Amino acid sequence: MNHTIWIRHGTFHEEASCNLLCFPYAGGTAGMFAKWNKLFGNQVNICPVLYPGRDIRIDEPVSTDIQKLAETFVSENAFLFEKPFGLLGYCAGGLYAYETARAVKKIYQKTPAFFLSISFGTPAYQMTSAHIYKSEKEEELIQYLVSHHLIDAESAEDSDFLEYYLPILKGDMQAIDKYAYGCTEQLDCDIYAVFGKEDTMFNEADRNKWYDYTEKQCQILLVNGGHYCMEENQMQLVELIQNLEREMAL
């Protein structure tokens, strides 16, 4: 598979039956999926997407336009869509995954084999907390991050960490705040929407809006944990993806 600056900590097996593109949450990086490349063997290529402004792309500006970023990513990485592919979006990464699906359809007339959302309340869901990036008081933003378990108290005291992390998070939250919420363009694939049972950000009505996004199968899956439930349910998610890959190979 071709080299690309957009994929970090990925696995590339020619014999793989599909590519799984993984989009991290706001402020996150591709490294959160680094351990996944040891869990799927040679059948699934794990492709963690690295947004500009972090890791080896630290010298690039953080993108504040999700649609534009998705179209650039898709147009610069045609090879990722030569195999059947699935899209996974974690929290706000769901916006990037959704816009990637739209961009692939627009540019290559292709559609994902499946769309997997984790802790994300559809593109029509208004993430009201995104405006926090506008705060002129850095301590207010840090307090928000700690209280919502986005960073721990120790990291909040680390000036080097905050100097690196806060500009990235502010840029990502600005992109979310600018996003044109209300889009309900359907995807021509099955949708699996995963939510933590203790996640207070979404109610049942928010979760069920995913049914509006496809005429194919849509499953709402409740798992243990709160908003950041991916790690504690990792093996359950891996099993789901493996089952979807086996269905594709039939």
Tens of pLDDT, residues 111-159: 999 999 999 999 998 776 656 666 667 787 888 778 766 778 888 888 8
Q: Indicate if the alpha-carbon torsion angle 124, 29, 34, 160 is positive or negative.
A: negative
Ramachandran angles phi, psi of 91, nearest 5°: 55, -130
pLDDT, position 128? 65
Q: pTM score, two decimals?
A: 0.93
Mean pLDDT is highest, among 166-175, 221-230, 241-250, for: 221-230
Distance CA 50, CA 148 (A): 24
Instruction: Flag whether pLDDT at 1 surpasses 70.
Output: no
Distance CA 23, CA 76 (A): 16
pLDDT, position 218? 98
pLDDT, position 143? 83
| Domains parsed from the chain with CATH numbers | 18-124+183-249 (3.40.50.1820)
Contact 226/150 with Cβ under 8 angstroms? no
pLDDT, position 136? 61
Contact 25/33 with Cβ under 8 angstroms? no
SS3 state at 225: coil
Q: What is the pLDDT of residues 147-196, one digit of tens each?
A: 766 778 888 888 888 888 888 988 998 898 888 787 889 999 999 999 99
pLDDT, position 223? 97
Residue 201: band (very low, low, confident or very high) from pLDDT cuts 50, 70, 90: confident
Q: What is the pLDDT of residues 60-116, one digit of tens each?
A: 999 999 999 999 999 999 999 999 999 999 999 999 999 999 999 999 999 999 999
Instruction: Flag whether pLDDT at 2 surpasses 70.
Output: no
